[in-house]
Each structure stands twice: as structure tokens, then as C-alpha cells.
Amino acid sequence: MEERHHFGSRLGVILASAGSAVGLGNVWRFPMEAGRHGGAAFILVYLVFVLILALPVMCSEFVVGRAGKANAADSFRRLLPGSRWSLAGYMGVLAGFLIFSFYVVVAAWTLFYTVECLHGALLADRDFCAYFSGFSSSAWHPLLYVILFMAANTAIVASGVHRGIERFSKWMMPLLFLIIVVLAGFAMTLPGASRGLHFLLTPDFSRLTFDVILSAMGQAFFSLSVGIGCLATYASYFKQDVPLMRSSFIICLLDTLVAVFSGLVIFPVVFTVGGQADAGPGLVFITLPRVFNAVFGASPVVNYLFSSLFYLLLLVAALTSAISQHEMVTALVHEKTRLSRPQAAIVVALCAMVCATACSLSFGPWRSITVLGMGFFDLFDFVTAKFMMPVGGLCFCLFVGWALPRSLVARELCGECPSRRAVLAMSCILALMRYVAPLCLVGVFFYELWSR
Ligand code: PHE
């Protein structure tokens, strides 16, 4: 059997996993959801879900991946041979594939905006609503960018875990952190900064409905890439000395910081021109270019730099996440067939292109084709975020919390001779994994069924 690849260092582990977590979910989806649901109240609920759901699910994915040392499905099978748990792994890989298919469409829009921005095409004040819908609803134009994005993605995944994914993340993640801090620092000097901060920090609990709570939960799963075995696949490349609990905590922290910083970039700018914070999905592609022009119109150089850096940030975030989705499916195909890693990466890319085409066309010529009342893009998003990720998360928690031998879990989580602090932390994580997260997920699931 071929020897398993490994990430080279602990820093590489953190940066690659944080790269998976930090993505469009943080810079595009989080401010959009927070804007729609009243800002700080949504953020507080989101933070609670990160702690009580995403963190334990992430730890359980790490345990499954590192102990199983295989793709998401085979890790389950190796740890409990003959059981049906590997079905959860297969469902996760399918979810990863579906997410990849619609994710690359938004990533392609981002690539288009970055290119246009660098060309200076976004500097003129124009009708950005027509501009965006003209682009996203055309048949070929977005597909061209999907192909370019997919090619870059495939090249990185095909280069391998250490030479491709880790090396890329080690360069890109520090760049991403730097860009977001510079942008947030600059945004804080704008006249709308205090209103933006107020919106982000003062909770209005009257807007907290059950739907808002559900959205916060979906956002926590999506933003931290948990519940589908994506991080389990990365963990199968961790060396034995990587501290799983500490790494999970750092990744959750970094991801949350980037999400909040994205809010710190976007809302001060939006409020400086008295814009709408609850602009929805168009926030980043319609409202922001308009707002950038209004705020920085007097100094084209600042406008150019600020908007180019912003779209570059979005692009880097999209790329480091998309490679993790691509990798989890590639790992399965590579390990289950005779295909080499580069061949497997290409096959996955080609299959994903087919679904991505359907998702992209659902904004244009295929708008009228619907399943359950939704176009392909919305359908994939709905099925994965509302169903597959929470169910997958539940399976990971139950598997590690109840089905695996306690000694194995303890060895993975705290190492051979654990300190008292590590044992205490493990007890907390295990309580979340065994009781809190499953009860919460089952409760939400039944509520959803019942309220339909
Ligand atoms: N966490 C990524 C983001 O925030 C999305 C993602 C979901 C990545 C699932 C991998 C797996 O954009």
C-alpha cells in the first residue's frame, strides 16, 4: 500500500485547516446573514453554536480522520469494521461534492470581479445591479471563469497534500489575514465606522426568531466546514503529535475572527453612505462596488486599492476552501480506484464541472427549471446546509462520543500522558459531543419537520 502523505508542520496543519474554514462563508455569507438578521444578536447566537456544535463536531472529525487514516468513508469502516457507519462518510463526500459544485460558481463571480477590478472596470459609477445580473445570468461568461477557477484548484490538489495544499495555504492564509486587517483598519477611519460598530456590537434581540437561530446554526456548520468529513480528510494527513483539541480551538477562533473582521470592513463602508446593511446575496457584488465608488469616489487610487484588495481577499478565501472540498472527493476516488492523485483530481473536477454548469445556468437560461421550487444552485445549498451537514455532524458526534472505544478517543484527543488541563478539556468536549450537540441537532431537525 502507498504510504500516506502528511502535512509537514503544525503550522501547516492550522493554516490548511483554517484555509478550509475561512472562505466565502466568512467574507460573503456571514456579513450577509448578519446584515439580514439584525447584526449583533445573530452574531451572539452564531458564537454559541460555534462553541457547542461546531467545536465538538470538528474534534470528532479530527479523531475519525487521524485514527482512520483514510478518506472520510473508509476511516469509519477501518475504525469499526463491518458496521454501517461508513454510510455517513459516503453521505459526507456526496455533500462535499455538491457544495463544491455551487461554491465554484460564486468563486467564479469573485474571480470575475477581481479581474474587472484590477482592470479598473469597477471604478466607474454604473448600474451594478444590471452589471451583476447581466454577468451571472449569461450562459457562457460565468462558465469561462468557473473553468479558470477549477483549473487552478485542480493544479493545487493534484500537486499533493504537502507540496500543493499545505504550501499554497502557508502563503495565502497570512496574505489573507494581512489584507483583512489592513482593510478593517482603514474602514475604521471612515465616518460610518461608529454606526457599523454599533450595528455589529449592539444586539437587538427582538429580531431573534427561530429561523434566525436556524440560519446561525447553518452558518456555523458551513463556515467551519464541519459535518461532511472535509476536516476528517485533512486530519488523515496529520502526524500523531498534532494536538487535536488545541488545533480545533485555534481554527474556530481564526475563522470567527475573520468573519467578524469582514463585518468590520463591510459595515462601516456601507453605513458611510447610509446604505442598506440587509442587502442579501447582492451585498458583496452589487451594494459594495456601488458603495466603494460613493465612499472613495474622490480619490480613485484609494478606491482602486481598497476594492482590488477586497476582491483579492474574497478570491484567496474561496480558493483555500474550494481545494479542501476538491481534496475530500479526490481522496476517496484516488483511494478507491486505480487512478493516481492527479488523475483523480481531474476526474472530480470534470464531474463537478457538470453540476457547476447546472448551478450557474440556474441564474440564467435554466431559471425556470426547478426542483422542490428551487433552482439547482439554491437546491444544492439548501440540501447541504440544512440537511446533510447537520445530519453528518450528528453522525460524527455519535460515532466518536458513543461508538468508538473511550481509550482510543482519549489517546487521540489528549495524547499518551495527558496533563490535568487536557483531561478537563476532553471531558468538556466529550460532554458536548455525547449530549449537547446531538440533542440540539435532533431538536432542530424535528422542529423543522414539524414546522413544515
Ligand atoms: N467553510 C467554507 C467557507 O466558509 C465552506 C466550506 C464548506 C468548505 C464545507 C469546505 C467544506 O466558505
Instruction: pLDDT band for 10, please (50, 70, 90 cuts).
Output: very high
Atom 9 of ligand 1 has which residue's CA nearest to it? 225
Residues with CB under 6 A from ligand 1: 20-21, 23-26, 99, 222-223, 225, 228, 230, 321, 324-325
Q: Average the pLDDT over each of 65-79, 201-215, 246-260 and give the range with the smallest value.
A: 201-215
Question: 371: which strand partners?
Answer: 374
**pLDDT reading at 363 higher than 80:** yes
pLDDT, position 439: 95
Q: Ligand 1 centroid vs 321 CA: distance in angstroms?
A: 6
pLDDT, position 1: 53
Q: Ligand 1 centroid vs 228 CA: distance in angstroms?
A: 10
Q: Ligand 1 centroid vs 258 CA: distance in angstroms?
A: 13
Atom 10 of ligand 1 has which residue's CA nearest to it? 225
pLDDT, position 287: 80
Q: Ligand 1 centroid vs 25 CA: distance in angstroms?
A: 6
pLDDT, position 123: 84
Position of cell 455525547?
Answer: 434
Task: Choose one of 225, 255, 323 to mutate for the ligand 1 pocket test, by most ligand atoms within 8 angstroms of C-beta.
Answer: 225
**pLDDT reading at 340 higher than 80:** yes
Q: Average the pLDDT over each of 65-79, 248-262, 319-333, 433-447 and give the range with the smallest value.
A: 433-447
**Nearest-angstrom CA–CA distance, 23 and 37:** 20
**pLDDT reading at 84 higher than 90:** yes
Instruction: pLDDT band for 277, please (50, 70, 90 cuts).
Output: low
Kindly report the average pLDDT of the chain as a whole number: 92
**Nearest-angstrom CA–CA distance, 148 and 302:** 28
pLDDT single digits (tens) 119-174: 988 888 788 889 999 999 999 999 999 999 999 999 999 999 999 999 999 999 99
The minimum-distance atom of ligand 1 relative to the CA of 22 is 4
The minimum-distance atom of ligand 1 relative to the CA of 222 is 7
Mean pLDDT of 215-220: 88
Instruction: pLDDT band for 354, please (50, 70, 90 cuts).
Output: very high
Instruction: pLDDT band for 53, please (50, 70, 90 cuts).
Output: very high
Q: Supply the DSSP string of 312-356, one letter for each residue.
A: HHHHHHHHHHHHHHHHHHHHHHHHHSS--HHHHHHHHHHHHHHHH
pLDDT, position 445: 80
Q: Ligand 1 centroid vs 439 CA: distance in angstroms?
A: 24
pLDDT, position 276: 66
Question: 85: which strand partners?
Answer: none
The minimum-distance atom of ligand 1 relative to the CA of 321 is 8
Mean pLDDT of 394-403: 97
Per the model's pLDDT, the better-predicted residue between 104 and 123 turns out to be 104
Q: pTM score, two decimals?
A: 0.94
User: What's the per-residue H, E or C state across the chain?
Assistant: CCCCCCCCCHHHHHHHHHHHHCCHHHHHHHHHHHHHCCCHHHHHHHHHHHHHHHHHHHHHHHHHHHHHCCCHHHHHHHHCCCCCCHHHHHHHHHHHHHHHHHHHHHHHHHHHHHHHHHCCCCCCCCCHHHHHHHHHCCCCHHHHHHHHHHHHHHHHHHCCHHHHHHHHHHHHHHHHHHHHHHHHHHHCCCCCHHHHHHHHHCCCHHHCCHHHHHHHHHHHHHHCCCCCCHHHHHHCCCCCCCCHHHHHHHHHHHHHHHHHHHHHHHHHHHHHCCCCCCCHHHHCCCHHHHHHHHHHCCCHHHHHHHHHHHHHHHHHHHHHHHHHHHHHHHHHHHHHCCCCHHHHHHHHHHHHHHHHHHHHHCCCCCCCCCECCECHHHHHHHHHHHHHHHHHHHHHHHHHHHHCCHHHHHHHHHCCCCCHHHHHHHHHHHHHHHHHHHHHHHHHHHHHHHHC
**Nearest-angstrom CA–CA distance, 320 and 438:** 29
% pLDDT > 90, the chain? 72
pLDDT, position 322: 98
The minimum-distance atom of ligand 1 relative to the CA of 95 is 9
Full set of structural domains in the chain with CATH: 10-451 (1.10.4160)
Q: Average the pLDDT over each of 66-80, 140-154, 356-370, 409-423 and give the range with the smallest value.
A: 409-423
Q: Ligand 1 centroid vs 74 CA: distance in angstroms?
A: 22
**pLDDT reading at 449 higher than 80:** no
**pLDDT reading at 279 higher than 70:** no
